Amino acid sequence: MLTPYSLLTTPYSLLTTTTYYLLLTKYSQNSKSTFMTNFKSVTAFAPASVANVGCGFDIMGFAVQGIGDAVTVSLQPDSDNSKITLTGIYGHLTPSERSKNTAGVAINAFLQAIGKSDIGLNIILEKNMPLGSGMGSSAASSAAAVYAVNYLLGSPLSVRELIPFTMEGERIACGSAHADNVAPALLGGFVLIRSYNPLDIISVTCPDDLFAAVVHPHIELNTSDSRRVLQNEVSVADAIIQSANTAGFMVALIKSDYELMKRSMSDLLAEPKRTQLIPGFDAIKAAAMEAGAIGCGIAGSGPSIFALCKGEAIANKVASVIREGFSKIGLYNEGYVSQLNSPGTCIVNSVEK
Positive or negative torsion for Cα 304, 305, 308, 311: negative
pLDDT in tens, 293-319: 999 999 988 899 999 999 999 999 999
Residue 32: pLDDT above 80?
no
Task: Name, in order, each residue with C-beta under 8 angstroms of 221's C-beta and a sequence gap of 6 or more.
Answer: 132, 133, 134, 277, 278, 301, 302, 303
Chain centre distance of CA 68: 10
pLDDT in tens, 202-231: 999 999 999 999 999 998 776 666 666 666
DSSP, res 205: P
Model confidence at 22, in pLDDT bands (50, 70, 90)? very low
Where along the chain do its domains lie?
Answer: 4-202+342-352, 210-339
pLDDT in tens, 232-273: 777 899 999 999 999 999 999 999 999 999 999 999 888 888
Task: Name, in order, each residue with C-beta under 8 angstroms of 198's C-beta and a sequence gap of 6 or more.
Answer: 8, 9, 10, 11, 12
Residue 18: pLDDT above 70?
no
Residue 52: pLDDT above 90?
yes
> What pLDDT was estimated at residue 247?
96
Q: Which fold has domain 4-202+342-352?
A: Ribosomal Protein S5; domain 2 (3.30.230)
Model confidence at 81, in pLDDT bands (50, 70, 90)? confident
pLDDT in tens, 95-109: 899 989 999 999 999
From 264, 269, 261, 278, select the one nearest 329 (Cα to Cα).
278
What value does the mean pLDDT of the chain take? 87
Residue 212 in 3-state DSSP? strand
Residue 176: pLDDT above 70?
yes
From 49, 93, 84, 72, select the one nearest 186 (Cα to Cα).
49
CATH number belonging to domain 210-339: 3.30.70.890
Give yes or no for a contact between 202 and 192, defined as CB atoms under 8 angstroms apart: yes
> Which whole number is the average pLDDT over 1-8?
32
Model confidence at 276, in pLDDT bands (50, 70, 90)? confident
